[in-house]
Structure formats: structure tokens, C-alpha cells
Structure 1
Amino acid sequence: MNKTRVLSTVAAIAVTVGLGTPAFAQDSFDIAFIPGVGGDAYYGSVQCGIEKAAAENGATVQTQAPSAFNPAAQIPILETMIAQKPDAIIIAPTDSQALFAPLKVAVDQGIKVVLVDTTLEDPSIAVSQVSSDNVASGRVAAQTLAELLGDRKGSVLTVNLSAGVTTTDDRERGFAGGIREAGFNYLGQEFSDNSVQKADQIVSAALLANSDLAGVFSTAAFNTEGAVAAIRAAGRSEDVVVVGFNANPPGIEQLKRGQVAAQVVLKPYDSGYQAGLQAIASLRGEKTTPVIRTGATVATKDNLTDPQVSRYVYSFTCP
């Protein structure tokens, strides 16, 4: 996949790779993928993983993404996909409650559902949930920030996405526990609603209200961009440390420029690949794994060339 094939358009990808196993030669499953938002290289890597699983198993993938990360944008796309009657839907729900009812419609029509990246408050309708362990990854972020701050015991703030997004809620939960245990004054979280401008305003206000603000944890890409802008505008880039959750190309540039000290890097390609395999297994009547967790690593300016880090940088280009 290249940058001209953006996630916000429908891309029907016919895969005709033979399995070499006569028993499955008749399989030609149609899988629909609905990411959380279009134009995000994280979901580009998820899609690459799904396409790899499909290519290995004679399936086709059709992808359509919402223009914004919210249920109002995602649900109409889901309803359109359901009307096309795919065999399975792989989706990153943008709200843990609002997506349940429309996905239940899909399941009632015999469509298999796999949740990837994010999940539902009641995931029982899905054959599998595949995501990172975001609580554990949040704790990794806390440990990383604590190590970077060393003996400085100032205040720390989290800029989160929006309430009800399971992945980022879990990241904050893991971070909150870890940073408190490390002895820092945790100011809690504020929500940007995925807005760079609002994240900028949140961090600007925190800098004014807390002269000892030492660290900012950002749970998502746009939050980090806003946080960096606020800190630079306040002339505090040298003493406020930012740890983000973004291995998209802009996030990697932030590391190279020294604007962000570390980025927690998830493994979206692995998540997409496992989600694709689970969808195909369910369609063949094979046993599926209810919950699959993929790991995380930490990228810094100093380790970007390490293959164990660079291989997980998010990209629209499939390996």
C-alpha cells in the first residue's frame, strides 16, 4: 500500500494466492476492514497485516475508513459495509458502547466480527479481540518518563483522547498507577477530543497553573503535537519532558528533532495479521482465540536505527 491508497477511500484488494491445500481451495472470503480513522499510518500498518493474512489464505479485503475518530463518522460506514454482506468485519470501534448495537446487527446477519486495536464494553459478540496490552504499555510510558526525569519530582499531566476509547483509557490507567508509584505529583488527565488545538490549550493552561510541571504524557498523536506546540511557545522545551504514543512519521520526526523524548511504539502490523487470521479461522469453523495481546517497545532518538524498533514504525507501505 502506498500513500495514494489512503485509508479514507474504499480499496478492494483481490488476492488470489493459492493455499496449496485442496480442502480450502474453494474459500474466497470477503473481509471488510473499518479502522478508527483514515489517513493514520498506525491503521495503515494494521491494514497491511490484515492483507498479509488474507493473501496467505485466498481472501479479499475491502477497507473504508471514517474521516474522524468518532462513532458519528464510523457508524454510517459500518452500516454501508453490513449492507454489502461481507463474510467478516474487522473493526477498531471508536466508542466502547455506541458501536455495540450496529455490530450486533452484523452478527445477527451471520457476519463474523473481529475487534482490532480498540474493543467494546461488551465484546461478547466478537469472535476475537486483538490489541496491544494498553495498561501495560501505559506503565511502560510511566517508567520511561520517570527514568528520563530522574531525581526531578515535579508534576506530571496526561493529555488523553476522549472518554470511552478503550485503548487510550487503558493507557492512562496504566500510566497513572506507574507514575504515582514513581513518586510524582500526578495532575490527572484532560481530554483533547483528538484536537491539536485543544491539546495545545490544555498544556498551555497546565504550564501556567503548575510552575513545577516536569512531564507530559500524551496518549495519541494529535495530543502530542498540541503538547509540543504549547511547550515550545512557553519556552519550556528544555525542562518539560514529553513521552508520547506515536510511531507515525510525524512522531518519529518529533524524536529526531528532540521535541519528544520517547514514543511508546505498538505493533499494529502484528495486530492486523492476527485479526485477519482470527477472522478466517472463524469463517472456516475453526477454533479462535478470544483475546490476543501484542506487545510494545519504546523509541528514542538514540535507538531509531535498531531493527527491533525500526520494524515497528507505522507506515502506509506494506513490507
Structure 2
Amino acid sequence: MRWKVLATFCASLACMFGSASGATTAQNVVFIPKSSDHQFWELMHEGASRAMNESGSGTLTWRGPAHSGDVDAQIRILETYTRDGADAIVLAPIDRYKLEAPVKMATEKGIRVVVVDSELGGENHSSFFGTDNVAAGALAAEQMEKLLGGKGKLVVVRTYKGSVTVEKRVTGFTKHLKAHAPQIQIAADFYAGDAVGDIYSITKETLRRIQHIDAVFAPNETTAQASLRALRDLNLAGKIRFIGFDATPLLLDAIRLREVDGLVLQNPRQMGYLAVKAALESPVSASHRSPTVTYIPATMVTSENVAQPAIQELLARDRPQ
């Protein structure tokens, strides 16, 4: 399928970095991810650190909640660094609405705010970098359509309510199936929380209860790992089709074992890199200026292409400096 990238790298970077007179170098950039317990954020941290190292000065503070559903903890962290007077904040908002007011408060104090991964309500931040999640969900559906031959019964495993990224991925997934594979039935579509243990238990019980499931769609790293564990425990791994998101060692091993049929691979390292670059250079967002948006394309990883150099480059971890 063709990706619709709403803002190209060149256009966005020219807009944000092109005017030396309007740029202000941030000495202290605070990066607030959604959590500290996912490899996705570790990769984003690598990209953010590389951008800061290239700047030649300043510090990068990395601090997020322990778990991805803890929006109250994320708000407290944001408020702490707003009071402490950070030069810039990069935020991956857990909730697009609840973080809007704290971000407005930060910008009113002259702090530059860049948003990454999940979109934020309002126009107080200067820019956004992330995956086009609707398109990424459609990419997953396109692969599922091929795997099932256009017909079958599947389960969709979501995290917590309010996750914008997951909601958009499922929207893209279901819209594609309705338009191109109407004989694929969604037998269950449920929220299972943000803890791996809870997602595992609920998914396992759902798969036991609903007979003759042909496939599972897990729209983020946590749901993918928990669903894989449930499938293995039920002796269903490799017997029904499974598409997930993101790439951890567990999921990549399952790709090679053909227990996972596809992973939608994002580029968190590039997100982190571009977000910190923008935080270092962009001015505080003015009320009349809409945030710039840069979508970074995702890639479908399968057992057939996982060994290709382009895929391996995306998967490679940065070497220590």
C-alpha cells in the first residue's frame, strides 16, 4: 500500500531548522516517554541521545512512568520539570486530552514542547513526530487479508482505553478489512489493560471461550508479547495467524519460528532523534501556528524479509559511544 506522509522530513526540517535567527539551542532537554518498561522506548532513547550528542552541548534527561497506563504519574513528571525550568520537553503523551493543560502551562513558561509517538490535543506544542497509525493498522490488515485468503474469524487485543496510537491502528485495521475483506469477521475486540499479566490472562480466556479462531491482531508491543504467550500456552502458536506490532527479541524469535506471521515495525530511534533535534532548534509554539507533523513510515516484517539488510538496519541497536 502507498504511505501518505503528511509532512516530509525535508519540509519539516526546513520549517523547524531553516532559520538560524529563530532558533534557540536548548541546554536541558527533558524527554518524557510513556513508560520505562518497553524496548520501544529504549530504541527511542538511543535516537534521542544521538541527537543530543551531535549538538555538542546540553544535557538530556530521560524520565517516564513505570508503566504505560499511568497518566497521573506522567502529568506529575511534566509538572515537575515545568517548575524546574527545563529549556525544552519532548513528550510521548499517554492521554491526548489530559496532557493538554499541563503542556499549555509549560509553554506559557517559555518551555519548548515537542510531541512524539502519540498525538496531543491543542496547539501548544511546536511539532509532532510519529507513525501514521491509521496507515500502519491498514498495513497490518492488508497482510492479514493475504494470510487468511479474504475470509476467517479473528480477535483484536487492545491495551487500555484512551491509547490514541492503539485506537488509530485498530481503526485503520478494521476499515481496511471492511472495504477489502468483508468476509473476515472480528469475533472479539476487547480492552485488556496495560500490564502484560492482565493482557495474557484475558486473551487466554477469550481464546478458550471463542471456538475456531483463525487469527489474532495485537496492535502494540505489550499486547503482542502477551498474546504470543497465551497462544503458546494454549498450543495454538503457529497454528493460527498472528500479526503484532514492534520488534522485541521474543517477537523476532517467534517470527523465525513462524509463530508470528507479521510485525509492523516502527522506527522509534528516528522518532527520538528528530524530536530532540526539533526541541533543540524550534521556538516556543505561538498560538496562531499549528504544530508541524512528520509521519515516519512503518514496515511489515515477516519470516521472508527479516534477514534483509534494510530490516536488519532498523532492528540494530546503537553501539555504546
TM-score (norm 1): 0.84
Q: 3-state DSSP class of the match of 2:247? A: coil
* Alignment-derived partner of residue 66 in structure 2: 67
CA deviation vs aligned residue, 1:280-302 (integer Å, no higher than 9, x gap): 22149999961110011011223
The percent of aligned pairs where both chains have the same amino acid is: 27
Determine the C-alpha separation between the residues in 1 that align with 2:198 and 2:174: 21
* Alignment-derived partner of residue 79 in structure 1: 79
Q: 3-state DSSP class of the match of 1:142? A: helix
Higher RCO structure, 1 or 2 (CA under 8 Å, sep 6+): 2
Determine the C-alpha separation between the residues in 2 that align with 1:264 and 1:208: 26
Determine the C-alpha separation between the residues in 1 that align with 2:227 and 2:80: 36
Of stretches 287-296 and 188-197 in structure 1, the one that deviates more from structure 2 is: 287-296
Q: CA deviation at 1:54?
A: 2.3
1:126-275 mapped onto 2 (5 Å cutoff): 126-150=125-149, 153-180=151-178, 181-183=180-182, 184-187=184-187, 189-275=189-275
Is the 2:26–2:279 Cα contact (8 Å) retained in structure 1?
A: no
Q: CA deviation at 1:315?
A: 4.3
Is the 1:41–1:248 Cα contact (8 Å) retained in structure 2?
A: yes
* Alignment-derived partner of residue 295 in structure 1: 297
Unaligned runs of 5+ in 1: 1-21
- Residue 42 of structure 1 aligns with an amino acid whose one-letter code is F
Determine the C-alpha separation between the residues in 2 that align with 1:314 and 1:132: 19
Determine the C-alpha separation between the residues in 2 that align with 1:225 and 1:68: 15
CA deviation vs aligned residue, 1:226-259 (integer Å, no higher than 9, x gap): 2122222333234311100021222222223332
* Alignment-derived partner of residue 32 in structure 2: 34
Relative to structure 1, is the Cα distance of residues 282 and 147 closer, same or farther in structure 2, using a 3 angstrom cutoff?
A: same
Determine the C-alpha separation between the residues in 2 that align with 1:226 and 1:316: 26
User: Where does structure 1 differ by over 6 angstroms across 4 or more consecutive aligned residues?
Assistant: 284-289
| Structure 2 residue 103 is matched with structure 1 residue 92 | no
* Alignment-derived partner of residue 57 in structure 1: 55
- Residue 290 of structure 1 aligns with an amino acid whose one-letter code is T
* Alignment-derived partner of residue 12 in structure 1: none
- Residue 217 of structure 1 aligns with an amino acid whose one-letter code is F
- Residue 127 of structure 2 aligns with an amino acid whose one-letter code is S
Relative to structure 1, is the Cα distance of residues 284 and 178 closer, same or farther in structure 2, using a 3 angstrom cutoff?
A: closer
Q: CA deviation at 1:33?
A: 0.4
Determine the C-alpha separation between the residues in 2 that align with 1:260 and 1:224: 9
Determine the C-alpha separation between the residues in 2 that align with 1:291 and 1:87: 21
CA deviation vs aligned residue, 1:257-287 (integer Å, no higher than 9, x gap): 3321111100111111221222122149999
Determine the C-alpha separation between the residues in 1 that align with 2:206 and 2:145: 19
Determine the C-alpha separation between the residues in 1 that align with 2:320 and 2:254: 23
Q: CA deviation at 1:211?
A: 2.0
Unaligned runs of 5+ in 2: 1-19
Q: CA deviation at 1:169?
A: 1.0
Relative to structure 1, is the Cα distance of residues 115 and 27 closer, same or farther in structure 2, using a 3 angstrom cutoff?
A: closer
Q: 3-state DSSP class of the match of 1:89? A: strand
- Residue 173 of structure 1 aligns with an amino acid whose one-letter code is T
Determine the C-alpha separation between the residues in 1 that align with 2:291 and 2:124: 14
Q: Report the RMSD for the aligned CA atoms in angstroms.
A: 2.7
Relative to structure 1, is the Cα distance of residues 283 and 38 closer, same or farther in structure 2, using a 3 angstrom cutoff?
A: same
* Alignment-derived partner of residue 18 in structure 1: none
